[in-house]
Amino acid sequence: MKRDSDRDGALKLAPVSRETERRLALFVGLLAKWRHVTNLISPASYDQVWLRHIADSAQLIDLAPEAKRWVDLGSGAGFPGMVLAIQLADTPGALVHLIESDQRKCAFLREVARETGAAAEIHPARIEAIAPQSLMPVDAITARALAALPVLIGYAKPWIERGAVGIFPRGRTAEAQAVEFAHPQTLQFETINSRIDPKAAILIVRHGESAQHSTRS
């Protein structure tokens, strides 16, 4: 009953098609099977997996509705990258590159991709080892709970400079992080409120002529 409530609440905040919901349910089922082996997420977090992880990831696709090719840095258990790849499973030309250095997590991600038909390619490597041009073209880049903002921007900048938009959930301190970060003058920052947690925000980063920072609900 609790799990059904979690799922229903999540899908109200981040609606998906019936087929996408089916694929996401397969993902959650595999997560239950694998989480004790690979320490993918904590037990407390799994109790609200649909709201805290599925919906929180699924909302990102609306922030770049035209994006078909994504890069997910430090994919871990597949949030947000695998969720995005499942959402894009039936979109012609779509592909999400999931970069993850932990081999056991990569094995999990490969099984999810096989079982769900997700538009995913798994890269078992450190981010620094990936040549940005080898994944081009890239429309959007994302990461969730990966690193401090300056480090994250350092990883993402090669793709952003080539035209990709950065979409980064940064929790309840997103705006403060953006204001405090002395970012390059060629990047534009915008914070958008999360639909899942009104106190949390998502940081949007684009390449531009001069540094700007704005906030949008």
Residue 23 structure tokens: 């694929």
Q: How far apart are the first and last CA of the chain?
A: 32
Q: Would you state the CATH architecture of domain 61-216?
A: 3-Layer(aba) Sandwich (3.40)
Which residue type, as a one-letter code, is found at position 31?
Answer: L
What tokens does 201 get? 């925000």
Residues 6+ apart with CB under 8 A from 149: 170, 177, 178, 181, 203
**This prediction's pTM:** 0.91
Question: What is the reported pLDDT for 210?
Answer: 46
Query: What's the Cα-to-Cα distance from 34 to each of 2, 23, 40, 53, 206, rounded to whole Å?
Result: 21, 17, 8, 16, 36
What is the percent of the chain with per-residue pLDDT over 70, rounded to a whole number?
Answer: 88
CB 199 within 8 A of CB 186: no
Q: For 69, phi and psi rounded to 5 degrees?
A: -115, 120
Domain ranges of the chain: 61-216
With H, G, I as helix, E, B as strand and everything else as coil, classify residue 121.
strand
Range 144-162 average pLDDT? 91
Query: Span 80-100, mean pLDDT?
Result: 98
Q: Are 165 and 204 a contacting pair, CB within 8 Å?
A: yes
pLDDT recorded at residue 156: 96
Count CA atoms within 13 Å of residue 11 on its CB side.
15
Per-residue DSSP letter, 2: H
Express each pLDDT in 14-23 by its tens digit: 999 999 999 9
